[in-house]
Amino acid sequence: MKINKWTLGLASLGLVSLVTEARAQTNALMTTVSATTISGYVDTSAVWNPGTGNANPAPYAFNAGKQDGFNVDSVDIRLQKALEEGQWAAGYVAELMYGPDSIATTGDVAIRQAYVEFRAPLGNGLDFQMGRWDNLIGYESNDSYKNPNWTRSYGYSLEPTEHTGLLTTYKFCDAVTAQVGVVDTVTTVGINGRSTGAAVNGEPEGEKGFVSLLSLTAPTNWGFVSGSSGYIGFDWGQGPAGGAPRRDHFYIGGTLNTPLKDLTVGGAFDYVTHEDLGGFDTGHAYALGGYLSYKLTDKLTLNGRIEFAEGRYFAASGLANVGVFPAGPSASEEQIFALTGTVQYQLWDNVISRLEFRWDDALDGGYSATPFGGTVSGLGTKRNEVLLAANIIYKF
pLDDT value, residue 319: 35
* 174 within a domain of the structure (yes/no): yes
pLDDT value, residue 151: 97
pLDDT tier at 56, thresholds 50, 70, 90: confident
CATH assignment at residue 160: 2.40.160.10
Is the pLDDT score of 135 beyond 90? Answer: yes
pLDDT tier at 314, thresholds 50, 70, 90: very low
Query: Which segment of 81-90, 238-247, 386-395 scores lowest on mean pLDDT?
Result: 238-247
- Sequential DSSP letters for 89-127: -EEEEEEEEESTT--SPPSSS-EEEEEEEEEE-STT-EE
Domain span at residue 95 reads: 38-395
In 3-state terms, the chain is what percent helix, strand and coil (to 5)?
A: 10, 45, 45
- In angstroms, the CA 258 to CA 388 distance is 30
As a whole number, mean pLDDT of residues 313-323 equals: 44
pLDDT value, residue 245: 59
| Predicted TM-score (pTM) of this structure | 0.83
- In angstroms, the CA 179 to CA 190 distance is 23
**Residue 30: helix, strand or coil by DSSP?**
helix
What is the share, in percent, of the chain residues with pLDDT greater than 90?
54
| C-alpha pair distances (Å), 330 with each of 196, 276, 316 | 29, 15, 8
* 293 within a domain of the structure (yes/no): yes
* 103 within a domain of the structure (yes/no): yes
Is the pLDDT score of 54 beyond 70? Answer: yes
pLDDT value, residue 195: 63
For the chain, the domain total comes to 1
* 23 within a domain of the structure (yes/no): no
Nearest to 244 by CA among 192, 166, 189, 182: 189
Is the pLDDT score of 39 beyond 80? Answer: yes
pLDDT value, residue 315: 42
Is the pLDDT score of 41 beyond 50? Answer: yes
pLDDT value, residue 199: 47
What is the share, in percent, of the chain residues with pLDDT greater than 70?
72
pLDDT value, residue 103: 84
As a whole number, mean pLDDT of residues 306-327 equals: 60
Round the average pLDDT of the chain to a whole number and report it. 81
Helix axes 5-12, 18-34, angle to 10 degrees: 140
* 15 within a domain of the structure (yes/no): no
As a whole number, mean pLDDT of residues 224-228 equals: 93
pLDDT value, residue 285: 85
Nearest to 37 by CA among 86, 75, 91, 74: 91
206 or 178: which leads in pLDDT: 178
172 or 206: which leads in pLDDT: 172
The contacts of residue 266 (CB under 8 Å, 6+ apart) are: 139, 148, 253, 254, 255, 256, 290, 291, 292, 293
Is the pLDDT score of 393 beyond 90? Answer: yes
For residue range 329-378, list pLDDT tens digits in order.
Answer: 444 567 889 999 999 999 999 999 999 999 999 886 544 455 676 554 44
- In angstroms, the CA 156 to CA 364 distance is 23
The torsion angles phi and psi of 167, rounded to 5 degrees, stand at -115, 135
pLDDT value, residue 228: 96
* 164 within a domain of the structure (yes/no): yes
SS (H, E, C) 295-320: ECCCCEEEEEEEEEEEEEEEHHHCCC
* 145 within a domain of the structure (yes/no): yes
Give the largest CA-CA distance in the chain.
91
b/e per residue, 200-216, with b = 16+ CB within 10 A?
beeeeebbbbebbbbbe
Nearest to 250 by CA among 266, 276, 231: 231
For residue range 145-172, list pLDDT tens digits in order.
Answer: 999 999 999 999 988 888 999 999 999 9
96 or 320: which leads in pLDDT: 96
For residue range 231-249, list pLDDT tens digits in order.
Answer: 999 998 865 554 455 778 9
pLDDT value, residue 383: 78
As a whole number, mean pLDDT of residues 262-274 equals: 93
As a whole number, mean pLDDT of residues 27-34 equals: 54
For residue range 295-305, list pLDDT tens digits in order.
Answer: 999 999 999 99
* 8 within a domain of the structure (yes/no): no
- How many helices (DSSP H) and strands (DSSP E) are in the chain? 3, 18
